[in-house]
Amino acid sequence: MTTRVLVPSGVLGLGFDREALARGVRLRPDIICIDGGSTDSGPFSLGAGVSKYSRAATKAEWRDLMKARAEGGVPLVIGTAGTCGADATVDWMYEITCELAAELGQSLKIARVYSSQPKERILKALAEGRIRPLTPAPEISADLIGSLSNIVALAGAEQIQAALETGADIVIAGRTTDTATICALPLARGEHPGGAWHGAKIAECGALCSTNPTSGVIMVDFDKDGFTVEPLADNAACTPHSVSAHMLYENSDPYQLYEPGGYLDVRGSRYTALDERRVWVEGSRWVEGQYTVKLEGARVAGYQTTIMAILRNERYVREARAWVDRLTGFLTGEIRSRMGLEPGAYDLQFRLIGVDGALGAMENRKGDPVEIGVLGIVTAETQAIASEIGKLINPFVLHYPLTDNEELPTFAFPYSPAQSDRGALYEFALNHVLELDDPMSAFRIDVTEI
């Protein structure tokens, strides 16, 4: 007796092989699980409570998965719905699901797992000493908590199990660990706990554990001793190397993975190729510990305006760094004299795209670019201040000379107006764990029949 989990892709919104998905449904899985997001793209989604991914792409792929669920007659689960898993994005995903149910003529029971944390709950836990920092973490205080626009706790297997126990056809979960949706059913069925958590870690990003990482769909069979993993696209295979290597992915320790209620230890794991496509893994251990859930929070760190110019004159391309340094010094004086702002009240950066735009001073490759994009980034306390600085520096970014004794140059703006308001800039401000006596005490489940 095994528990078979079909994973269509590493995340909803990036696409998957439809033929491989159909093949997976024909193999009669017990559940279909997919991730909806992560913190990979930075703090904006959590701070603003919106999805990074296109609604159209999300709806198109979710349509295929809802049809696959109906054909297979099994539950469909998504974790970290809407990229960040805040309550607002769970509701966003629920709205899409309701639209599709009407279009497809499906009657469904839907369980929503909410992971957002009221500030009052976090303040109370802080006062009770139930919040501990991870490394690195900012110092936590009542003021910091009060400044956060969204706080989420990462659900584990227990919260997904509770949602499945409602008899839901579809589970839309808020922020969860990457592994929680996949291991929940195998654990509930009594499969090997080390194998369940390890197999979930290997499967979390779909075919990334295979020789063709972009092919998407994989199947994992969990049993009483371990798990077997197989990619379902024709041009993909799992090998002991590709499977074992995935413990390195997004994990500071390739032998241990911490989850709510304990950690996975793979130091004794053995990887065996069953054939050219499948790998069986045994020997993984689950070590129980105190039940904690990770907290994530984001807040507004300022507001931004950007401006872009393009240098093509050979001399300015060659001397771009010197030009930017001279321009920055000049603009600091202009902003001080015209707006009364000292550098500590705002931040102005110029990135030289084509020279060192990504790595800055750490760039170690040299070349002779034909042109350079000069990206100015203004960050200030309010959008009004950032916008005003953007307008103030506009003519100088277009015309400022490299030396005093030369004619004014003219560079190129790729669009008009050259400056663009980006809105709020968010930053992560929590990297802590919350101790729970009851795994469900920080989460709630709503069940709806449509």
115-162 pLDDT per residue, tens: 999 999 999 999 999 999 999 998 999 999 999 999 999 999 999 999
How many folded domains does the chain comprise?
A: 2
| 401 upstream amide cis, omega within 30 of 0 | no
Q: What pLDDT is attached to residue 14?
A: 87
Two tokens, residue 386: 């950032």
| Distance, CA of 169 to CA of 410 (rounded, Å) | 62
Backbone angles phi, psi at 95, to 5 degrees: -60, -45
Q: What pLDDT is attached to residue 88?
A: 98
Higher pLDDT, 360 or 373: 373
Q: Is the pLDDT of residue 9 over 90?
A: yes
State whether 401 and 440 are in the same domain: no
User: Would you say 175 and 115 are in contact if contact means Cβ atoms under 8 Å apart?
Assistant: yes
Say if 302 falls within a structural domain.
Answer: no
Q: Is the pLDDT of residue 41 over 90?
A: no
Q: Per-residue confidence at 365, pLDDT binned at 50, 70, 90?
A: confident
Say if 421 falls within a structural domain.
Answer: no
| Distance, CA of 152 to CA of 300 (rounded, Å) | 16
Beta bridge partners of 292: 435
Higher pLDDT, 15 or 189: 189
Q: What pLDDT is attached to residue 214?
A: 85
What are the pLDDT digits (tens) for 392-411?
A: 999 999 999 999 999 999 99
State whether 377 and 437 are in the same domain: no
Q: What pLDDT is attached to residue 8?
A: 97
Beta bridge partners of 421: 305
What value does the mean pLDDT take over residues 278-302?
98
Say if 397 falls within a structural domain.
Answer: yes
Q: Tokens 């990770």 appear where? A: 294
Cα–Cα distance list, 62 to 54, 155, 177, 219, 247 (Å): 12, 22, 20, 18, 28
Picking from 422, 364, 417, the residue whose alpha carbon sits closest to that of residue 395 is 417
Q: Is the pLDDT of residue 296 over 90?
A: yes
Percentage of residues in the chain with pLDDT exceeding 70? 100
Two tokens, residue 184: 């929940």
Q: Is the pLDDT of residue 77 over 90?
A: yes
User: Would you say 150 and 182 are in contact if contact means Cβ atoms under 8 Å apart?
Assistant: no
- H/E stretch holding 78 reads strand 76-79
Higher pLDDT, 1 or 18: 18
Question: For helices 180-188 and 193-203, what crossing angle results, to 10°?
Answer: 150
Parent domain of 385: 313-411
Q: Is the pLDDT of residue 367 over 90?
A: no
Question: For helices 157-164 and 180-188, what crossing angle results, to 10°?
Answer: 60
Average pLDDT taken over every residue of the chain? 96
Q: Radius of gyration over alpha carbons of the chain, in Å?
A: 26
Under DSSP, is residue 161 helix (H, G, I), strand (E, B) or coil? helix
Say if 348 falls within a structural domain.
Answer: yes
Q: Identify the weakest region by mean pLDDT among 114-118, 233-237, 361-365.
A: 361-365
Say if 47 falls within a structural domain.
Answer: yes
Q: What is the DSSP string of 382-446?
A: SHHHHHHHHHHHHHHHHH--SSSSSPPP--B-SSSSSEEEEEEEEEEEEEEEEE-SSGGGG-EEE
What value does the mean pLDDT take over residues 212-235?
94
Q: Is the pLDDT of residue 29 over 90?
A: yes
User: Would you say 130 and 434 are in contact if contact means Cβ atoms under 8 Å apart?
Assistant: yes
Give this prediction's pTM. 0.94
What are the pLDDT digits (tens) for 314-325?
A: 999 999 999 999
State whether 195 and 230 are in the same domain: yes
State whether 293 and 317 are in the same domain: no
DSSP state of 138: P
Q: Per-residue confidence at 292, pLDDT binned at 50, 70, 90?
A: very high
State whether 196 and 67 are in the same domain: yes
| Distance, CA of 206 to CA of 140 (rounded, Å) | 36
| Distance, CA of 429 to CA of 298 (rounded, Å) | 5
State whether 282 and 381 are in the same domain: no
Q: Tokens 């920092």 appear where? A: 133
What value does the mean pLDDT take over residues 195-203?
97
| Distance, CA of 427 to CA of 217 (rounded, Å) | 33
Q: Where are the beta strands (DSSP E) in 322-410?
A: 346-353, 372-380
| Distance, CA of 173 to CA of 155 (rounded, Å) | 8
State whether 257 and 339 are in the same domain: no
Backbone angles phi, psi at 410, to 5 degrees: -130, 120
Say if 202 falls within a structural domain.
Answer: yes
Percentage of residues in the chain with pLDDT exceeding 90? 93
Q: Identify the weakest region by mean pLDDT among 18-22, 227-231, 324-328, 364-368.
A: 364-368
The alpha carbon torsion through 381, 421, 416, 318 (nearest 10 deg) reads: 60
Say if 233 falls within a structural domain.
Answer: yes
Q: Per-residue confidence at 388, pLDDT binned at 50, 70, 90?
A: very high
Picking from 349, 353, 391, the residue whose alpha carbon sits closest to that of residue 373 is 353
Residues 6+ positions from 283 with CB-CB distance below 8 Å: 194, 226, 266, 268, 269, 270
DSSP state of 116: B
Say if 306 falls within a structural domain.
Answer: no
State whether 255 and 219 are in the same domain: yes
In sign, the C-alpha dihedral spanning 434, 440, 441, 446 is positive
State whether 274 and 373 are in the same domain: no
State whether 147 and 31 are in the same domain: yes
Looking at the chain, the number of H-run helices and the number of E-run strands are 13, 19
> What is the amino acid identity at position 226?
G
Polymer length of the chain: 450
| Distance, CA of 328 to CA of 448 (rounded, Å) | 57
Q: Count CA within 13 A, CB hemisphere, residue 337.
A: 7
Within 10 angstroms of residue 240's Cβ, the number of other Cβ atoms is 14
State whether 326 and 291 are in the same domain: no
Separation of CA 347 from chain center: 27
What value does the mean pLDDT take over residues 234-247?
95
Backbone angles phi, psi at 90, to 5 degrees: -60, -45
State whether 180 and 329 are in the same domain: no
User: Residues 426, 355, 322, CA angle at the centre, nearest 5°?
Assistant: 95
- H/E stretch holding 335 reads helix 320-339
